[in-house]
Structure 1
Amino acid sequence: MRTTAAVIGCGDVSAVHLEALAKLDGVTLAAVCDTDPQRLASATDTWGVPGYANHLALIEAVRPDVVHICTPHDQHASVAADCLERGVNVIVEKPLAHTLAEGRRLVEAASAGRAKIAVCFQNRYNATSQAMHSLLSSGELGAVKGASATVMWQRSAEYYQNRPWRGTWAGGGGGLLMNQAIHTVDLLQWLVGDVVAVTGNVSTRFLGEAIEVEDTAEFVAEHASGARSAFYATLANAFNAPVTLDVVTEKAVLSLRGALTVTHSDGRVDIVPERTGGSGGRSYWGASHELLISDFYARLQDADPFWISPAEAQKSLRIIKDLYRQSYPESTYTFS
């Protein structure tokens, strides 16, 4: 029996989900959904499937096995909860939700166990991320002493004008940290361990005329292991530079610059290349969406929850919202 899938939200990132579905054996795209008539018409024409303007109407009519949620951030949790409550499995784009309260709602919906859900932190499937996690988890490099990460990217005012929800608290739940750098925040806490305290600041240094949210952020995090990490990110760079992530252990330094370089204290150097190719989407999305999506479908019949669950995704969301509370203590917008 074939597995049926639907995509809700036909904006930019939906392209990598649709491409991945087209490559999966035993999976059929059954429908698409978008509230924008032009995007919906384009998707139905391209993929030759029915289109719906309302996700509940799609679920009722099509009864898909899996729904991919590629909507604006403020719709992630509500649409995903609607699907889970009806026994439909879900792959939802990051972030988990635009507020912590909505994130908790989705954690609770997932805990009911009516269906399986994955959150798209696909960079955990990068060859370099997998190698770093394996080395650090094995203990062969000794304890982690500290880490650092940077995201030096560029975005224009036009990027936000084309999708106005991106530059708002209500639609995006934040800016740089929620829409771009959240992947690196997630990797930092996944590799080094749970964050127990964070201090930092976010600000708008470059795009103030186009957005109401942040385009620059910095923080220092204390991890449960006792290690400390430092983080800096901005959208004011002249180009999209490679993400950097360095981890210092008792016996080695792991340095991510596209490829992963592991410099051992005895002088040995190991290099792990990153995968190339993959989706026709933007280059900075990487090549691992397809791997996450394929893995999710392969585990649909497993009794255990998918490993990148709402509870797991809530960790990076909590870090980000804590930084917002510190940076905007007088704000009337709720970050909880």
Structure 2
Amino acid sequence: MTDLKAAVVGCGDVSAVHLQAIADLPGARLAAVCDTDSDRLEAATTAHNVPGFPDHISLLDTIRPDVVHIATPHNTHASIAADCLQRGVNVIVEKPLAHTLEEGLRLVEAAKASRAKIAVCFQNRYNATAQAMHKLIHSGELGAVVGASATVMWHRNADYYTSRPWRGSWEGGGGGLMMNQAIHTVDLLQWLVGDVVSLTGNSSTRVLGETIAVEDTAEFLAEHANGARSIFYASLANSVNAPITLDIVTEKAALCLRRDLTVTYGDGRVEVTPERERHPENEAPTGGRAYWGLSHELLIKDFYARIGDPAPFWIDPDEAFKSLAIVKELYRQSYPTQLKAVS
């Protein structure tokens, strides 16, 4: 990897993580930034001393970057990523894959048709605890997965939404809590336990109804292809951003994620994997927020290392579509009169 030109499209909150990761990568350099908001664009161009563009097409045509990082509102993910892929430009796009199933499928097809590589930021798969859980479960030594449960108990207030109105709308965000926060844990659940083949659930707005049109609370029960069953609960009505919980029961052990991972075996043995043990670089501040997860930098570094590999990146649109489909099925059941908006 030598002198790869990177560009960041979208200079809002999460762009800080991408900008820092690019700065820390040997052989990569930031070549341009883009934002439709003139104030954010000016601040980014000044801070990073690179050209700024008000639209991604002019950036692509002028700079011709090797990699574009997309950190824009959900309803623009698929269109911007598709424009990059059609030009042979590699892409790292924030979750979710898209704000609708239709746009998600569009991006799946665009990725298949392009010679370029694309990653979707489900960076929590790189966390030491998630990696340890996946290795143990898929090694076979714990026996079959019997069932699982997960919770996301976080806090958001009205200011979070009024500062970025797209977050609270179906048109801009494609949903609320489940699309913007809990989808990371949905992704981990299906990645660790197995593909979801059916689910029943409900989503609703409990405390932010005067501010947002989307949900702030949700729950579902899912049946997995391997016969396991999982239950899921998430809410933004909590008083704090509590650690996510993820419990998986197998025939021979129980895995309990509460920041650290505790594995209790049937013979009484207990093993603990600390949250940050395998990735000491995560101790360094990134300018990001803790609830974004620990491992944005690890995903980005891995993606750049694989650019010359002809195989698709392992968290590609096909893989990211799984969590999008789960969330959209929950919305289909919860909002039957709004199918067009939430699909």
Partner of 1:303: 310
- CA-CA distance at 1:214 after TM superposition: 0.1
Whether the 8 Å CA contact 1:10–1:39 is kept in 2: the answer is: yes
Matched to 1:284, the amino acid is Y
CA distance in 1: counterparts of 2:77 and 2:339, whole angstroms = 23
1:314 aligns with 2:321: yes
Could you give the per-residue CA deviations for residues 88-128 of structure 1, whole angstroms, max 9, x where no partner exists?
00000000000000000000000013210000000000000
Give the 5 Å matches for 1:61-210: 61-210=62-211
Amino acid at match of 2:325: R
Q: Which amino acid aligns with 1:80?
A: A
Give the drift of 1:19. 0.5
Partner of 2:342: 335
Cα deviation digits, residues 176-224 of structure 1 (max 9, x gap)? 0000000000000000000000100000001001100000000000000
Q: CA deviation at 1:332?
A: 5.6
- Is 2:283 aligned against 1:277? yes
Residue of structure 1 in register with 2:41 after alignment: 40
Quote the offset at 1:330 in angstroms.
Answer: 1.8
- Please list the CA deviations of residues 273-322 of structure 1 after superposition, one character each: whole Å capped at 9, or x if unmatched: 01253422111112200000000000000010000000000000000000
| Residue aligned with 2:314, SS | coil
**Residue 245, structure 1, aligned to residue 252, structure 2:** no
Checking the alignment, whether the CA contact within 8 Å between 2:33 and 2:52 is kept in structure 1 is yes
How far residue 170 of structure 1 moved from its aligned partner, in angstroms, is: 0.1
* Contact 1:33–1:53 under 8 Å retained in 2: yes
Inter-partner Cα distance in structure 1 for 2:130 and 2:294: 12
In structure 1, the residue matched to 2:279 is: none
Q: What SS does the aligned partner of 1:97 have?
A: coil
Query: For residue 135 of structure 1, what is the amino acid of its counterpart?
Result: L
Shift of 1:329: 1.1
**8 A contact 1:277–1:287 mirrored in 2:** no
**Match of 1:48, as an amino acid?**
N
Q: TM-score, normalised by structure 2?
A: 0.97
**Amino acid in structure 2 at the alignment position of 1:277:** E
Q: Secondary structure of the equivalent of 2:310?
A: coil
Q: CA RMSD in A?
A: 0.8
Structure 1 residue 326 corresponds to structure 2 residue 333: yes
Residues in 2 aligned to 1:159 and 1:148: alpha-carbon distance in whole angstroms: 28
- Alpha-carbon distance in structure 2 between the residues aligned to 1:294 and 1:331: 40
**In 1, distance between residues paired with 2:64 and 2:335?**
43
1:129: Cα distance to partner? Answer: 0.2
| Alpha-carbon distance between aligned partners in 2 of 1:335 and 1:224, rounded to the nearest angstrom | 25
Quick one: which amino acid aligns to residue 155 of structure 1?
Answer: R
| Structure-1-length-normalised TM-score | 0.99
Amino acid at match of 2:238: N
Q: Tell me, in whole angstroms, the C-alpha distance in 2 between the residues paired with 1:9 and 1:317.
A: 21
Partner of 2:222 in structure 1? 221
Where 2:238 maps in the other structure, the secondary structure is coil
Number of residue equivalences: 336
Name the SS of the counterpart of 1:330 in structure 2.
helix
The one-character-per-residue Cα deviations of 1:20-45 (angstroms, maximum 9, x if unpaired) are 00000000100000000000000001
Question: Any idea what SS the aligned residue of 2:283 has?
Answer: coil
Percent identity, aligned pairs only, is: 71
Measured in 2, the distance between the counterparts of 1:28 and 1:249 equals 45
Partner residue, 1:56: 57
> Per-residue CA shift, 1:41-71, capped at 9, x if unaligned?
0000111100000100000000000000000
